[in-house]
Amino acid sequence: MTATAVAATLGAFAAAPGLPSSTAAALSHGLARSGAPAPFVDCRDTKRVALTFDDGPTQYTAAILGTLERQHTVATFFLIGPHALHYRKDVPRQLRDGDAIGDHTVTHPNLTRLPPARIDHELETAAGEIASVTGQWPTLFRPPFGAWNARVRGAAGAEGLSVVMWSVSPQDWKNHNPHLIEQSVLARARPGAIIVLHDRYATTHRPSRTSFTR
């Protein structure tokens, strides 16, 4: 898959056991794969990046989790609330693997175009649906389309959610060529980068013919 290639070929980089904030410092979350609490990591100093996946879980999420497990890599998944309910088996697996889980709304709208009550509904309802599966209220939030403003940030804060954006996007939602997606990510990966991918597209998890295995 492209995610396989990204996880396996970041070269000098490693996937962080947490998610970098806008200052590129990793947020501690959950349990690391060893079972110990994930440490706080400054991704710039340790040459790490954060892999993140939006819009899941979907029928492709299990394959992505398998890849991450084989590469001993963790990621952060921003979940659509109803998807978490539909693909319930994938979400506990993410937690067991040490992955972080965040809120990505109920219907994936552009929140900046919605009235405050609808914004609150999208964030709170999705968080509740996710928590019904994980037993934990999410603390991370990624706005659909990366569209947010002060009103959206305020609503997220009221729900205890930190807004997390990204710094590297191969636009796998538009570009469905696995090799090009892979090369776009690898060419732009830098210490502290936050890479956004989507586990809703078959081409994001499909192997690239030129995938490295080092």
Mean pLDDT of 88-101: 96
Would you say the pTM of this structure is higher than 0.85?
A: no
Annotated catalytic residue: which of 83, 104, 108, 198? Answer: 198
Asked if 196 and 168 touch (Cβ cutoff 8 Å), the reply is yes
pLDDT band at 83 (very low <50, low <70, confident <90, very high): very high
Nearest by Cα to 194 from 88, 102, 71, 91: 102
Question: In this predicted structure, what is the pLDDT of residue 57?
Answer: 97
29 tagged catalytic: no
Annotated catalytic residue: which of 29, 54, 83, 108? Answer: 54
- Asked which of 129-143, 177-191, 197-211 is least confident by mean pLDDT, the reply is 197-211
Q: Whole-angstrom Cα distance, residue 68 to residue 128? A: 26
**Tens-digit pLDDT profile for residues 20-39:** 333 233 333 333 333 444 44
**Tens-digit pLDDT profile for residues 99-109:** 999 999 999 99
Question: In this predicted structure, what is the pLDDT of residue 42?
Answer: 54
55 tagged catalytic: no
- Asked which of 64-73, 78-87, 125-134 is least confident by mean pLDDT, the reply is 64-73
Q: Give Dmax over CA atoms of the chain in angstroms.
A: 49
